[in-house]
């Protein structure tokens, strides 16, 4: 019995080790997009926000991180670069520029369930 438990512990440790070594991380949650009143204002990284760029805000990802955003209701994807902090609305994981939101067909609903995929930082 002890030997069986030992093997189970070793197998679990290997599974956790290899699962955490993947190149990509995914998150699933709700996305929204910036309103027009933010166009031309400074972002948290010091750049001027332009609603026509493929950019986004995320609470914790480093500035410059490239994120693939997939709208789970239609399968459309867009690549954005993190340039700002947010979103601050409860339950949301990313705020997209208007152009990025248009690319994944979410302008009409304003909020969409999405999957984020990005490279693990070393």
C-alpha distance from residue 24 to each of 28, 34, 48, 89, 122 (Å): 13, 26, 29, 26, 11
- Which one-letter DSSP state was computed for residue 61? S
| Cβ atoms of 87 and 96 closer than 8 Å | no
Calculate mean pLDDT across residues 59-79: 97
Ordered structural domains, the chain, with CATH: 24-119 (2.40.40.10)
Provide φ and ψ at 98, rounded to 5°.
Answer: -60, -40
The pLDDT value given to residue 4: 56
The percent of residues above 90 in pLDDT, for the chain, comes to 75
Q: Judge if pTM exceeds 0.95.
A: no
Q: Is the pLDDT of residue 84 over 50?
A: yes
Distance of CA 50 to the CA centre of its chain: 19
């Amino acid at each position: 019995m002890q030997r069986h438990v030992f093997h189970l512990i070793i197998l679990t440790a290997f599974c956790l080790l290899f699962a955490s070594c993947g190149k990509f991380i995914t998150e699933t949650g709700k996305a929204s997009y910036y309103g027009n009143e933010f166009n031309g204002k400074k972002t948290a990284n010091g750049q001027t926000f332009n609603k026509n760029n493929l950019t986004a805000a995320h609470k914790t990802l480093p500035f410059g991180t490239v994120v693939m955003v997939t709208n789970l209701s239609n399968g459309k994807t867009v690549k954005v670069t993190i340039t700002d902090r947010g979103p601050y609305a409860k339950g949301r994981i990313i705020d997209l520029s208007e152009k990025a939101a248009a690319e994944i067909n979410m302008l009409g609903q304003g909020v969409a369930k999405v999957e984020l995929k990005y490279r693990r930082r070393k």
